[in-house]
Amino acid sequence: MRLTDQDRAKVAAAVKLAESGTSGEIVTVLARRSDDYADVALHWAVLAMLLVLALLAWQPWPIEWLHTRLIDPWAQTVPAHWYLTAALVVIALTFLLVRVALARDALRIALAPGSTKTRRVHARALALFRTAAEKRTTGSTGVLLYLSLAEHRAEIIADSAIHSKVAPEVWGAAMAALLAEVKDGRPADGMAAAVAQIGIILAPHFPRADDDVNELPDRLIEL
């Protein structure tokens, strides 16, 4: 999903409008992915290697057939070292082939367990929140809206002052508004809708003061 300048302007305008009624500061981040999942590729490659080794232990006839074809067609038995050497070559090739196949980001992410993707997205969102929003406002009223496209997951993380007054489940409306649009291929519309909901949630608890200043950027941050 590629964003246009119009999409970026839409999200920034939504942040500005939402913050016009609250002292809360909303930071929006759109990431293509939250992790490269290199370890997932490694795990699958090792698993494939072990499965091939188990298959050869169960049915060693492919190794015997190769020995007959390549080494000694008259042999009555296959030497033990041939089994070990052939198995080593086969599992090494299996490992390399799976690693090459999983060089594609989309395939690695598709094979990553859902719980792993959820943890990685949350960890990335939390790290960005601590960098971009946490305690960076006068009243500790920063909120991060984070969307990770490849994992199809989003996070809303609030600063300490907001967290003490707004229960985590209250963000459900904002998350629902976001995901409804993202599923239809409109991430900018989803983020704008979520920002509007966040503003509605914050306004009663943190009304905008006359001397309020904009402490965090309204623009959409893309990673």
What was the pLDDT predicted at 67?
Answer: 64
What was the pLDDT predicted at 122?
Answer: 94
Q: What percent of the chain has pLDDT over 90?
A: 36
Distance, in Å, from the CA atom of 172 to the CA atom of 116, rounded to the nearest integer, reads 22
Q: Which position has the higher pLDDT, 52 or 70? A: 52
What was the pLDDT predicted at 76?
Answer: 66
Tens-digit pLDDT profile for residues 184-200: 889 999 999 999 999 99
* pTM score, whole prediction: 0.83
Distance, in Å, from the CA atom of 116 to the CA atom of 138, rounded to the nearest integer, reads 35
Chain-centre distance for alpha carbon 62: 41
pLDDT above 80 for 16: yes
* Contact criterion met (CB below 8 Å) for 138 and 25: no
* Contact criterion met (CB below 8 Å) for 157 and 146: yes
What residue ranges define each of the domains in the chain, with the CATH number in brackets? Answer: 5-35+113-222 (3.10.310.50), 38-110 (no CATH)
* SS3 state of residue 25: strand
DSSP-derived pairing of the beta strands 221-222 and 25-31: parallel
Concatenate the DSSP letters of all residues of 129-179 into one string. HHHHTTT-STTS-EEEEEEETTTTEEEEEE-HHHHTTS-GGGGHHHHHHHH
Tens-digit pLDDT profile for residues 99-148: 999 988 888 998 899 999 999 999 999 999 888 877 777 778 889 999 99
**The two structure tokens encoding residue 59:** 């049915």
Distance, in Å, from the CA atom of 161 to the CA atom of 139, rounded to the nearest integer, reads 7
For 40, phi and psi rounded to 5 degrees? -65, -45
Q: What number is the average pLDDT over the span 20-30?
A: 89
Cα Rg of the chain (Å, integer) = 26
Q: Which position has the higher pLDDT, 75 or 170? A: 170
Between the alpha carbon of residue 215 and those of residues 27, 106, 134, the distances in Å are 10, 37, 12
Q: Which of 160, 125, 163 is nearest to 144 (CA)?
A: 125
Q: Which of 153, 162, 168 is nearest to 134 (CA)?
A: 162
